[in-house]
A and B are shown apart, each in its own frame.
Chain A
Amino acid sequence: MKKILIVDDEPNILLSLEFLMKKEGYEVFIARNGREAIEIVKKELPDALILDIMMPEVDGFEVCEFIKKNNKTAHIKVVFLTAKAKDSDIQKGLSVGADLYLKKPFSTKELVKKVNEIF
């Protein structure tokens, strides 16, 4: 059973993503901000993250950078799911090592399909 960590500061979005991922058969972890996310990554070593960018204190880019730079965690797949839709944002997301960059609002079917594909 693959582990997936969902990071977002909006409880409603967490709720919907949790429902979708559980239904796909992932073991789901939840973090409400960047700091929490990093702690869970260290502890649980999930297989993938669904990561928001705009969060208080530690933002999504920083979380992704941390994961990709650290040997122990570099293999973890990172999917950005964010309302930041500008080309420059996407560029930055890929440059910090993201495996996938998806925009909010999202189609649930497509999200599920794409997340499944990265493995």
Chain B
Amino acid sequence: MISNWVVILISVGYLILLFLVAYFGEYRAKKGKSLLKNPYIYALSLAVYCTAWTYYGSVGNAAESGLNFLATYIGPTLLAPIWWLIFKKIIRISKVYRITTIADLISTRYGKSVALGRLVAIFCVLGIIPYISIQLKAISSSFQMVSGSNLVSSSDAAISGHIFNDYTLYITIGLAFFTILFGTRNIDATVKQEGMVTAIAFESILKLVAFLVVGFFITFVVFDGFSDIFSHVENDPSLSGLTTLDSNGGYSEWFWLNMLSMMAFMFLPRQFHVSIKENTSEKHLDKAIWLFPLYLLVINIFVIPIAFAGKVMFSGQSEVLSDTFVLAIPILLSQDFLAIFVYLGGFAAGTSMVIVSTIALSIMISNNLIFPYLVSNKQFTRFNKGNFSRFLLNIRRASILLVLLLSYAYYSLISFRFSIVSIGLISFVAVAQFAPAVIGGIFWKEGNKKGAISGLVAGFTIWFLFLVLPTIDQTGFISFLIQNDKLFNFIPLADGQAFGLPMNKIPASLFWSLLINTSLYVFLSLRFMQSSKERNQAEVFVDVFKYSKEFESTMVWKGTAYVQDIEELLTHFVGVRKTKEILKEYEYKYNLSLKKEDRADSKLVNSVERTLAGLIGSSSARLLISTTLKEEEISTKEVLDILKETQQIVIVNKQLKEKSQALEEVTKELFSSNEKLRKMDHTKDEFISTITHEMRTPITSIRAFSEILHDNSDISLGDKQQFLNTIIKETERMDRLISQVLDLEKFNSGKQEFHLEYLKINELILEAIQSVQTLLEQRGIELTTKLEESSEYIYGDNDRLIQVLLNLISNAIKFCDAKAGKIQIVSKQVEGNFVVEVIDNGKGIMKEIQHSIFDVFYQAPDQTRKKPKGSGLGLSICKKIIEYHHGKIWVESNEQHGSKFIFTLPAKLNKSLTEQQSYLNEENFNS
């Protein structure tokens, strides 16, 4: 048993913690480290969807009618791609118009109609107050249970024990205080409420953890896992039927319940508030689209086990409501700490819903119900000159208090009689009525105000008659309306045949209300013309992505107003300082300077109207502008023309941007190819410089010896012979050099022709050795081979590959000392490549130049050290040839320990096979 005061202290302590969390959120935002920029916080804040209903009611629902409760969660999950699509558009529209509530959204779309905004706001208040009140009820009865260890939370007990009633009142007042503090920090409703959202995200975590903990406890500690619970249920005949879908309505009912929760997820004021108004980036949707359904999945894992466990544990005790199983089980088992924790989880679920719903409703009440009266009242505006924002803020605060007190009143008068789920679903049906006007509004340009108003009124009337009246009747006020379980003694109400459909009341009334709502909306929209203002909004809503940043030109306005008028108007609402800021920002954005006597253009008027819309709602702002500034009527055609122009501007801007990007790319390309050319030019210079130097060497010898022979007739015969011989050799060297240069030039320009055929690598090696045999013998160098047999071939040019081998072998011969020289040639196959190695025991190649000996004349002209003899152009030609054959060539060498030249060539398939294939291909071709 836990004392009342302990529970009260813990509850108050929790509220204080919530204040601290919210304060932390505000603090972070002030430091520029906003938590709202985090997509996970966004997804968690969406979980405000899971209220005390989820927390207590799902178990109750599961215990009464099996798997039906899942519809509430499967709806938003299954249709996640659809809400992603719709939210993306609504978020963009709301940013453009500074829309903060669903009432504002609908009213803005249909010509910023004050009447429509008022209607939606009233419907929201009517639909949501009962919903808030059941949260209070859940908080109250859970308090009662945990503090009194009273498993029987009958409604009478709630009334009789006045201390519990008072407790609920105090909690309500505490919540009002919190909501006012963190929900009305700024009169501009478009400013993000960092603290509030942070607190909501925190509560989402808490309720999830608490529910998982109790679920785990019941499933794995009290029982022996899932199968244990299920076997208990199966063995009890009174519990059969829990494991299937409710047979009353069958699958169509299931479908409508899914649709219902889906629409509720989109249009509940609190969902609109966290998902649209508090959204900081459209990209957050991409994470939320899977995170939020995941949250729903996790929080529902233990619903069925707890429901079944409760059924088993309390079988025969029908006075223990299944709504309370979550809490009743820990209390029954005297698990005090767990009970308190569960209580706090439920408390979090309830309070988060209450806080967000209250803020959303208070904005609607002030912006759509109260402000339109005030701004159209000239005396009032004059009276409050300059002090408006404080006054508006106070109205909003009063609205919060009003909403909460109304909810409390509803709670203490009516709602304690019903289970949580039934009232929740009634609220769902109410907000589902917004679906035609919103979805039609953002996807269908023809939808108009008349259709929207008629549809909404009809839908709500049906909702009221079918769902609300019967509940009021039960409390005994209007009993004559319902007789024999029939409304007006005509429409059947009983589950399974409600309103003439084979369903329960909720899905059946959803079906009828939506059918009539949508039909009226479509029919009247087609039947009547839109006004030019409506047409304007319709165009922008449906094509919002086409207007992107040009939206200030999308609200067509015509009239006479001066900058001074605008300034005065703004000053009324936001004060002198803020007015200056706003105008300065406008001047900066459009790069102009405003003078008091200037005519205000439509862009400025729209900009101001948008600013005001954030403060007092778009319909009030519209009303204010139209009454303060001199406006002219504008025809629909004009509106459409101007919008078309704006779209054109957007398109042209986009094209310009694309063009300039393309230009930039071309410039880049030009720059890089220019760079390439310059490099090539430089290489060519080096090439020429080096080649001429290389040619001067043989020419020097030839000239010197020729002159010597010419000038010295007395020269000995032996000398004469040697000198002439040298001249001949140097001439040959010169010739070789020239053909190498020409070769290289051919490779570089791609003019070199290759005659490709299938060749055996070892045959090539042997052929090359054959031709240097004489030279080897002359110099007394020993050449050995180690050639691996292979069935595969290389596909290449015979002469060119021989040239490579010859070059490498003759280099090796040159580097080896006569007599002591040893050369080895190895060929093997490694992973689809032939690897050929030419190894000598000469003096080796310095590490620093190993990588450059394959470059064409790697010595730069400034270099004065010569590369090793014999590696002139030969190696660079070798490299070109090998690379042409898709191979690689490199050298490994340790100075003084000889060098190893290695090249690879890709091994090809069996020669005959490939030939056969090409033969076959030819045959096919010919036939």
> How far is it, in angstroms, between the C-alpha of A59 and the C-alpha of B865 when the chains are bound?
6
- Docked-complex contact B700 and A105, CB < 8 angstroms: yes
Which residues on the A side are within 8 Å of B549 (C-beta)?
A: none
- Docked-complex contact B700 and A60, CB < 8 angstroms: no
A86 within 8 A of B: yes
Which residues on the A side are within 8 Å of B864 (C-beta)?
A: 53-55, 59-61, 84
Contacting residue for A56 out of B704, B723, B867, CB 8 A: B867
Interface size class of A (residues with CB under 8 A): 20 to 34
> How far is it, in angstroms, between the C-alpha of A60 and the C-alpha of B712 when the chains are bound?
30
> How far is it, in angstroms, between the C-alpha of A109 and the C-alpha of B864 when the chains are bound?
27
Contacting residue for A84 out of B693, B705, B868, CB 8 A: B693
Chain B residue at minimal CB-CB distance from A58: B865
- Docked-complex contact A13 and B866, CB < 8 angstroms: no
Which residues on the A side are within 8 Å of B730 (C-beta)?
A: 12
Which residues on the B side are within 8 Å of A57 (C-beta)?
A: 865
Which residues on the A side are within 8 Å of B866 (C-beta)?
A: 9, 54-56, 59
Contacting residue for A106 out of B704, B712, B867, CB 8 A: B704
- Docked-complex contact B865 and A108, CB < 8 angstroms: no
A116 within 8 A of B: no
Contacting residue for B726 out of A15, A61, A84, A86, CB 8 A: A15
- Given that A53-B864, A55-B866 are known contacts, is A13 also in contact with B693, CB under 8 Å in the complex? no
Please give the number of chain B residues whose Cβ is less than 8 angstroms from any Cβ of chain A in the complex. Answer: 27
Chain A residue at minimal CB-CB distance from B867: A56
Chain B residue at minimal CB-CB distance from A14: B701
Minimal beta-carbon separation of A91 from chain B (angstroms):
12
- Docked-complex contact B693 and A105, CB < 8 angstroms: no
- Given that A54-B866, A59-B864 are known contacts, is A109 also in contact with B697, CB under 8 Å in the complex? no
- Given that A10-B701, A16-B704 are known contacts, is A104 also in contact with B865, CB under 8 Å in the complex? no
Minimal beta-carbon separation of B727 from chain A (angstroms):
9
- Docked-complex contact A10 and B865, CB < 8 angstroms: no
Which residues on the B side are within 8 Å of A16 (C-beta)?
A: 701, 704-705, 708, 723
Chain B residue at minimal CB-CB distance from A107: B707
B597 within 8 A of A: no
- Given that A9-B869, A19-B719, A86-B861 are known contacts, is A108 also in contact with B711, CB under 8 Å in the complex? yes
A100 within 8 A of B: no
Which of B686-710 touch A at CB < 8 Å?
693, 696-697, 699-705, 707-708
Tally of A-B residue pairs with Cβ under 8 A? 76
- Docked-complex contact A19 and B707, CB < 8 angstroms: no
- Docked-complex contact B693 and A83, CB < 8 angstroms: yes
- Given that A10-B697, A104-B697, A108-B708 are known contacts, is A55 also in contact with B865, CB under 8 Å in the complex? yes
Which residues on the A side are within 8 Å of B712 (C-beta)?
A: 23
Which residues on the B side are within 8 Å of A83 (C-beta)?
A: 693, 696-697, 700
Which residues on the A side are within 8 Å of B703 (C-beta)?
A: 105-107
Which residues on the B side are within 8 Å of A86 (C-beta)?
A: 861
> How far is it, in angstroms, between the C-alpha of A108 and the C-alpha of B737 when the chains are bound?
25
Chain B residue at minimal CB-CB distance from A108: B707
Minimal beta-carbon separation of A25 from chain B (angstroms):
15
Which of A1-60 touch B at CB < 8 Å?
9-10, 12-13, 15-17, 19-20, 23, 53-60
Minimal beta-carbon separation of A101 from chain B (angstroms):
14
Contact digits for A91-102, partner B, Cβ 8 Å, 1 yes 0 no: 000000000000
Minimal beta-carbon separation of B861 from chain A (angstroms):
7
> How far is it, in angstroms, between the C-alpha of A15 and the C-alpha of B711 when the chains are bound?
16
Which residues on the B side are within 8 Å of A19 (C-beta)?
A: 708, 719
> How far is it, in angstroms, between the C-alpha of A107 and the C-alpha of B710 when the chains are bound?
12
Minimal beta-carbon separation of B853 from chain A (angstroms):
13
Residue among A13, A16, A57, A60 with the highest chain B CB neighbour number at 10 A: A16
Contacting residue for B704 out of A54, A55, A105, CB 8 A: A105
Which residues on the A side are within 8 Å of B707 (C-beta)?
A: 107-109
Which residues on the B side are within 8 Å of A58 (C-beta)?
A: 865
> How far is it, in angstroms, between the C-alpha of A61 and the C-alpha of B863 when the chains are bound?
11
> How far is it, in angstroms, between the C-alpha of A72 and the C-alpha of B704 when the chains are bound?
33
Chain B residue at minimal CB-CB distance from A61: B864
Contact digits for A58-81, partner B, Cβ 8 Å, 1 yes 0 no: 111100000000000000000000
Which residues on the B side are within 8 Å of A20 (C-beta)?
A: 704, 708
Which residues on the B side are within 8 Å of A17 (C-beta)?
A: 704
> How far is it, in angstroms, between the C-alpha of A16 and the C-alpha of B712 when the chains are bound?
13
> How far is it, in angstroms, between the C-alpha of A17 and the C-alpha of B730 when the chains are bound?
16
- Docked-complex contact A13 and B700, CB < 8 angstroms: yes
Which residues on the A side are within 8 Å of B700 (C-beta)?
A: 10, 13, 83, 104-106
Chain B residue at minimal CB-CB distance from A60: B864
Which residues on the A side are within 8 Å of B697 (C-beta)?
A: 10, 13, 83, 104
> How far is it, in angstroms, between the C-alpha of A113 and the C-alpha of B696 when the chains are bound?
22
Contact digits for B863-906, partner A, Cβ 8 Å, 1 yes 0 no: 01111110000000000000000000000000000000000000
- Docked-complex contact A12 and B726, CB < 8 angstroms: yes
Contacting residue for A13 out of B704, B719, B867, B869, CB 8 A: B704
> How far is it, in angstroms, between the C-alpha of A55 and the C-alpha of B865 when the chains are bound?
5
Residue among B705, B707, B719, B867 with the highest chain A CB neighbour number at 10 A: B707
Which residues on the B side are within 8 Å of A9 (C-beta)?
A: 866, 869
Minimal beta-carbon separation of A99 from chain B (angstroms):
19
> How far is it, in angstroms, between the C-alpha of A108 and the C-alpha of B715 when the chains are bound?
15
Minimal beta-carbon separation of B666 from chain A (angstroms):
39
Minimal beta-carbon separation of B182 from chain A (angstroms):
78
> How far is it, in angstroms, between the C-alpha of A56 and the C-alpha of B707 when the chains are bound?
28
> How far is it, in angstroms, between the C-alpha of A31 and the C-alpha of B868 when the chains are bound?
17
Which residues on the A side are within 8 Å of B705 (C-beta)?
A: 12, 16
Contact digits for B437-448, partner A, Cβ 8 Å, 1 yes 0 no: 000000000000
Which residues on the A side are within 8 Å of B701 (C-beta)?
A: 10, 12-13, 16
> How far is it, in angstroms, between the C-alpha of A105 and the C-alpha of B719 when the chains are bound?
21
> How far is it, in angstroms, between the C-alpha of A19 and the C-alpha of B699 when the chains are bound?
18
Residue among B701, B705, B729 with the highest chain A CB neighbour number at 10 A: B701
> How far is it, in angstroms, between the C-alpha of A107 and the C-alpha of B700 when the chains are bound?
9
> How far is it, in angstroms, between the C-alpha of A10 and the C-alpha of B870 when the chains are bound?
12
Residue among B693, B699, B702, B868 with the highest chain A CB neighbour number at 10 A: B693
Chain A residue at minimal CB-CB distance from B707: A108
Minimal beta-carbon separation of A109 from chain B (angstroms):
7
> How far is it, in angstroms, between the C-alpha of A55 and the C-alpha of B697 when the chains are bound?
13
- Docked-complex contact A108 and B693, CB < 8 angstroms: no
Which residues on the A side are within 8 Å of B861 (C-beta)?
A: 86
Which residues on the A side are within 8 Å of B867 (C-beta)?
A: 56
Minimal beta-carbon separation of A81 from chain B (angstroms):
9
- Docked-complex contact A108 and B869, CB < 8 angstroms: no
> How far is it, in angstroms, between the C-alpha of A108 and the C-alpha of B702 when the chains are bound?
11
Minimal beta-carbon separation of A98 from chain B (angstroms):
13
> How far is it, in angstroms, between the C-alpha of A108 and the C-alpha of B729 when the chains are bound?
20
Minimal beta-carbon separation of B688 from chain A (angstroms):
13
> How far is it, in angstroms, between the C-alpha of A53 and the C-alpha of B864 when the chains are bound?
6
Which residues on the A side are within 8 Å of B719 (C-beta)?
A: 19
Which residues on the A side are within 8 Å of B868 (C-beta)?
A: 56
> How far is it, in angstroms, between the C-alpha of A1 and the C-alpha of B456 when the chains are bound?
126
Minimal beta-carbon separation of B696 from chain A (angstroms):
4
Q: What residues of chain A have their CB less than 8 Å away from a CB belonging to chain B? A: 9-10, 12-13, 15-17, 19-20, 23, 53-61, 83-84, 86, 104-109
Besides A16-B701, A86-B861, 7 other A-B contacts (C-beta < 8 A): A23-B712, A54-B693, A56-B867, A59-B865, A59-B866, A104-B697, A105-B702
15 contacts between A and B (CB under 8 A): A12-B729, A13-B700, A16-B704, A16-B705, A17-B704, A53-B864, A54-B693, A54-B865, A55-B864, A56-B865, A84-B864, A105-B696, A106-B704, A107-B707, A108-B704
Please provide the 6 A-B residue pairs with the shortest distance between their CB atoms, ordered closest to farther.
A16-B704, A59-B864, A83-B696, A105-B700, A12-B701, A108-B707
